[in-house]
């Protein structure tokens, strides 16, 4: 290897190149180069796993997670389950530079972003809406529920926890936790 270095998960070539050029030609500091690189994937919706319009949750909404960590100051800025704001890595930079916190989450992270000048906009697209509708039409399979009724392996919710009897009689679904294959994580579905 040799410095400077940019390493990125997957085959996200444009993002890697943009970060590297920001660092070398643009002489950005590393955190700004990091935001530049990650933002390319947020715009290009890399593999459907970054940015708006991908990985809809059970209500069809896309929410975003992002983090930036400075290995010299050990300072961190992060957003989790950010809603209705597209540029998650950039918002994380404001958490890093404009707060003394590490992480802001959910709708209140959205409020913070709006205060920092970001725009509220839907993160749903036709593609993510279609993916969600197909999932609903398929009895909400696969899903992340267990030990609830009705049976999550057969139908959608809303769900309620299984009865106290089931708990008492140890008839809880445990072992399948070790087997995560039915969630079909992979190139197009992951964190």
Partner 1 sequence: TISMIIIDHAGHVVAGTSTNGARHKIPGRVGDSPIPGAGAYADSEVGAAVATGDGDVMMRFLPALLAVEGLRNGLDPNEAAAQQIKRIVKYYPTFTGGIVVATKEGRHGASCNGMAEFPYSVADGTDSEGEVKVYTVKCV
Q: What are the backbone dihedrals phi and psi of residue 149, each rounded to the nearest 5 degrees, phi first?
A: -130, 145
Residue 111: helix, strand or coil by DSSP?
A: helix
**Residues in 130-189 that interact with partner 1 by CB under 8 A:** 131, 135, 140, 142-145, 177-181, 183, 185-187, 189
Nearest to 66 by CA among 30, 92, 29: 92
- Binding flag, residue 79, partner 1 (CB under 8 A): yes
- Whole-angstrom CA distances from 63 to 23, 105, 131 are 29, 10, 15
- Whole-angstrom CA distances from 145 to 116, 141, 150, 182 are 36, 10, 10, 12
- Binding flag, residue 85, partner 1 (CB under 8 A): no
Identify which range of 9-17, 110-118, 164-172 contacts partner 1 by CB under 8 A.
9-17
Interface residue with partner 1 among 98, 102, 151, 155 (CB under 8 A) is 102
Find the shortest distance in angstroms from Cβ 113 to partner 1.
14
Burial class (CB in 10 A: 0-12, 13-18, 19+), 153: middle
Find the shortest distance in angstroms from Cβ 168 to partner 1.
26
Angle at Cα 90 formed by Cα 123 and Cα 5, nearest 5°? 120
Interface residue with partner 1 among 84, 85, 92, 110 (CB under 8 A) is 92
Nearer to partner 1, 168 or 191 (CB): 191
Identify which range of 101-109, 114-122, 162-170 contacts partner 1 by CB under 8 A.
101-109
Peptide bond into 189 cis (omega under 30): no
**Residues in 13-72 that interact with partner 1 by CB under 8 A:** 13, 15-17, 19-21, 23-24, 29-31, 33-35, 37-39, 41-42, 46, 48-52, 54-59, 61-72
């Amino acid at each position: 290897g040799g410095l400077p270095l940019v390493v990125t998960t997957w085959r996200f070539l444009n993002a890697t190149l943009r970060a590297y050029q920001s660092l070398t030609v643009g002489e950005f500091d590393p955190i700004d180069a990091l935001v530049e690189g990650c933002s390319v994937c947020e715009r290009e919706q890399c593999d459907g796993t970054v940015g708006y319009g991908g990985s809809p949750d059970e209500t069809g909404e896309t929410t975003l997670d992002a983090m930036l960590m400075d290995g010299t100051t050990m300072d961190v800025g992060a957003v989790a389950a950010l809603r209705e704001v597209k540029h998650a890595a950039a918002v994380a930079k404001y958490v890093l530079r404009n707060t003394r916190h590490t992480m802001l989450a959910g709708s209140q992270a959205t409020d913070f972003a709006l205060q920092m000048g970001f725009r509220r906009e839907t993160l749903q697209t036709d593609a993510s809406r279609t993916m969600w509708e197909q999932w609903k039409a398929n009895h909400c399979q696969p899903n992340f529920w267990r030990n609830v009724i009705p049976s999550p392996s057969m139908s959608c919710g809303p769900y309620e926890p299984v009865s106290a009897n089931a708990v008492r009689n140890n008839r809880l679904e445990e072992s399948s936790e070790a087997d995560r294959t039915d969630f079909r994580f992979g190139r197009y579905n992951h964190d």
